[in-house]
Amino acid sequence: MKIAVAGTGYVGLVAGVCFAERGHNVVCVDIDGNKVNVMKSGKSPIYEEGLEELMVKNYNAGRLDYTTDYKSAYRDADAIFIGVGTPEQEDGSANLSYVATVSRQIAENVEKDCLVVVKSTVPVGTNDKVEQFIKDSLTHNVKIEVASNPEFLSQGYAVRDTLNAKRIVIGTESSKAESILKEIYKPFNLPIVSVSRRSAEMIKYASNNFLALKISYMNDIANLCELVGADIEDTAEGMSYDPRIGSSFLHAGIGYGGSCFPKDTKALKYIAKQHGYTLKTIEAAVDVNENQKLKLYQKASNRLITFNGLKIAVLGITFKPGTDDLREAPAIKNIELLLKNGADIYLYDPVGMNNAKRMFKNQIHYTENPKDALDKANACFIFTEWDEIKDISPRTYKNIMKTPLVYDGRNIYDKDIMNSNGVEYYSIGR
């Protein structure tokens, strides 16, 4: 099937590449000519394991292409997937301007009947509005229907999560649209959940918000564990054996970040308020997460008289391993506070350094390995549980830091082993 994909971020690019991998003819559309040229050369604009290999494979096979020429891309496509961003606005609502722009471009250029599929995360009811907007703006006598197909990928594992998804959710209002989407996903050989458009939109928000709620709940319990003398990791292990709870998302830390959970929790909270309803659980999750991000900084402030003039090692800046994404990363607020209070920061991250340089420029030092960051440091903050950071031995902190003072926001180390090696070690919920 001939598929056009609007947007080449995490959602659009991964979807397009994976459609090509499963045999469809795909063209990915982006407004940035330089970005298109980079992708044509086989380089991915985002860090995602396994993505570049599939980009090269399918581009060379003639199943995948990239263009800025949306008119040609949309003109005779069988299906057009919208995978552009829906960033958070100041009031927490989703910014749908990019979705609207693509919808107008589709309406003005399609010359054959086609299915438009919204893959972007959008408020409930948006697909209805997109369909009406396109129909109102059509320049050719064609039939257009809109369907919802939210993504459930995890950054760092996006290719795996697309090709081997637990389920494919499709939201349609006709048997024809349902049939087309099922045909597109037939080569994936995955379970398909077919519902209405509005239910599909809600499934996406409900799923992400539930996971965010689970993370915030464990962080809240971790904070209580510290006060009462319990251990959050022992607590999580005991909980994990209950099949009603499961073992996923029980790891306490310094809060969630990234492009999905922060934005989607605020968006669902906004949607509820627009309908006169208060989602108290989600509001609590948002509040807990914001407070959790500064737990390490608060611990360090209680221990140190000042940060002014101190060398502070920061290990990890991305919001999670496996990605170069800094959006809503807990490290960011902490680095900003440390800089404000005069700290001399030395950063190490295996893949996030270029994005960090764009954000902080020459305000901090960038190191090529963890040891350079730790050398003669007065304190160390761990924000991301990269393997390269996990592999640092307790003795390394003791031997090369000026003061072996470690604040670990991901509970990487055994606290007894760290302490027995002469490291003053602070973690979360232990």
**Residues known to be catalytic:** 260
Sheet containing 379-382: give its strands across. Answer: 365-366, 344-348, 311-315, 379-382, 405-408, 424-426
CA distance 267 to 86: 10
**SS3 readout for 381-393:** EECCCCHHHHCCC
CA distance 13 to 40: 12
CA distance 338 to 349: 18
CB proximity list for 391: less than 8 A, separation 6 or greater: none
User: Where do we find the tokens 């599909």?
Assistant: 200
Q: What is the DSSP string of 279-322?
A: -HHHHHHHHHHHHHTTHHHHHHHHH-S--TT-EEEEE--SSSTT
Element (H, E) at 114: strand 114-118
- Residue type at 257? G
CA distance 171 to 332: 37
CA distance 184 to 34: 30
CA distance 114 to 237: 50
CA distance 12 to 120: 8
Q: Which two tokens stand for residue 304?
A: 């140190």
